[in-house]
Structure 1
């Protein structure tokens, strides 16, 4: 059980167990991010909260604040969310256009309106989202661009994606109410990001209440989460929690290396009244290309425990987990050769590999470390991969120990 730090000295074992249950209820999303298409780890969270005042709120313990998040029953809201992501990726040496043209077509050359590719744009840069929800069966997320808009609408058994720039539509159906897999693949709201952060809370974590703030005109408490272990690339996570509803309003992850936040996601406007029913209506525009997707199956359970999630990862072929907590490293074998050095003869590819990769050696042999400000991956010359939200030295140490 995590040693939650607060000024409430009366916390007993029963309360601690309630917190564990609350944390598991709040933990719903596991979101992998590929590094060069082979390494997976965490999509991050957010920077320092932009406070517009420190409201005077009743004292609350960290345990009570986590329980408040878990018990939040907000089902109706609308608002605007600003999300900024800075993984610190290097210059791609001219490959950006190639990657962008592949992403805009969707998986296997499919529709540009397919959410599985479109929402991955949130993994970099600054974006504005307009969101609305009315219960588990009605939701809408619109990604606003300077000259275009992408919308993902879930209404009953229908899921619609619409890209105004290409005038393409993606349509899928859900077999059960609440099957919002299309929208859960990439966390887009402070709550989704907070759920992922709370999943990582264990006895390797410090959790405290760090004062109050105002976000989108709402009074909020600030929950501060920090790894106790050294070697993690995660510095701290700050979550602003609405004092009345328990809904996370803003989310901040700062890296251990310092500087700007890896991700900053927060409401700039929020309204808890019921959205108009027409908000979730959609009819393909005249002349739009409509692509029918496979039926989206509802997940068996959206509230798995930490043990269940770990078992699911270990069940993947060839995947092992080294270490625990914030220092966990995924290890698997690609079954092929490692990444070539920047000497392929293709200037664009060589420029990309040389700028992103860092050659390393050890008892394991030699390999290349691909780095971001949050996720790092070591790919050895014989095709083994070690990846996680840990430092380069931690990856090399893990590879050496595996020999």
Structure 2
């Protein structure tokens, strides 16, 4: 019989909070993506071949099962599909080294192996990853491409990223503080797969943080993922106005490991975020899995070189357009739970300066217009820039309202702020 239970009571919500605190110590660096995060549209390629008959379990018991899991060793293949409703980012390709594109397209590191630019590719389309983990000090994530492969390897205090297409590598040291080598550059922290918000476990943790009185948490049956029997934990907003319809987490019935994460928008259609294993093995990976030596002739960029050299010139504090924003504090949160909205103003409440005609390159203007809807109300007028999950209203006087809420919710918030 497939398990099922009702939405959580106030008392159960308190128990859920305790379960989430336990979940904070649960470590399974099984790398998959999303962003928010994290923030993937999936056809049922990862789905089940029949619903397994498992013992009944409550949502609280399932969360505690996740928290109690001590699984730290695994290897497998992950399928990721992303559909956030964004127009093609190729529209910005002609902007070259302007303010909308870092020089070299590599975040200013001078290396095509820099993790930042590669991981951005996971924000759209379909991707296949190979992952492996052996405790908190050994992880590997590889993005498989048609004729190439991009890998990030964390082995002890060594962090490597390698792009076979360009034969370039990015290297840094991890001193255990999360700041990496050099004077706190954080490049090792950025490169290490364990720190990327790209796993079913990490996506699940973020979703469970919202499981308060504004949230319904239930067990919605069973499934089979990558040949493993799993329970389905279903999280839904109780509030109206959220762009998130539901989040479904497939949890391994035996060891409590999240195997699949699916986020469906309230607007319906295919999932916006869906990431899960197609193959998974919970035995210890071979030690050689985490070995890496740059191939002969490979260009190697050191994190320290980036921090001391040209990488610094791309920092916000050193960029003319960002001067005066170091002490930015113009952020206020409106509402709570799933329908909370961030209201953003510059110091003094003057708002951001809305772009004037001719100030934005034509390619960028076309891209922005593809996202935007003109709206008006008591607040005046403005433009709502939309995706399937996160929407933002920029008023003509420069105030920004942003959140995982509908266009109507943003307009209402702007009207009530006046």
Q: TM-score, normalised by structure 2?
A: 0.80
Q: How many residues align?
A: 367
Q: Is contact 2:250-2:261 (8 Å) kept?
A: yes
SS at match of 1:73: coil
Offset of 1:89 from its aligned partner? 0.8
Measure the CA separation in 2 of the matches of 1:214 and 1:222: 10
- Match for 2:344 among 332, 336, 350? 332
- 1:319 partnered with 2:331: yes
Larger deviation, residues 358-367 vs 150-159: 358-367
Larger deviation, residues 19-28 vs 349-358: 19-28
Q: TM-score, normalised by structure 1?
A: 0.83
Larger deviation, residues 47-56 vs 112-121: 47-56
Measure the CA separation in 2 of the matches of 1:129 and 1:396: 40
Aligned match of 1:108? 108
- Match for 1:282 among 292, 316, 320? 292
- 1:392 partnered with 2:387: no
Offset of 1:257 from its aligned partner? 0.4
Aligned match of 1:256? 266
- Match for 1:348 among 320, 342, 363? 363
Measure the CA separation in 2 of the matches of 1:193 and 1:98: 33
Aligned match of 2:39? 44
Offset of 1:23 from its aligned partner? 1.2
Measure the CA separation in 2 of the matches of 1:159 and 1:6: 44
- Match for 1:268 among 274, 278, 288? 278
Between the two structures, name the one with larger relative contact order (CA 8 Å, sep ≥ 6): 1
> How is 1:2-401 mapped onto 2 (pairs within 5 angstroms)?
6=5, 17-26=14-23, 43-44=38-39, 50-91=47-88, 94-96=91-93, 98=95, 102=102, 105-176=105-176, 181-182=189-190, 183=193, 186-294=196-304, 317-334=329-346, 335-340=351-356, 347-401=362-416
Offset of 1:45 from its aligned partner? 6.6
Show structure 1 runs of 4+ deviating over 6 A. 177-180
Q: Deviations over 1:26-85 (max 9, x none)?
A: 3599xxxxxxxxxx9652377577221111111100110111112221100000000111
Alpha-carbon RMSD across the aligned residues, in angstroms, is 3.0
SS at match of 2:292: coil
SS at match of 2:47: coil
Q: Is contact 1:119-1:186 (8 Å) kept?
A: no
Structure 2 alignment gaps of length 5 or more: 27-34, 180-187, 306-326
Compared CA separation, residues 238 and 399, structure 1 to 2 (3 A) = same
SS at match of 1:269: strand
SS at match of 1:108: coil
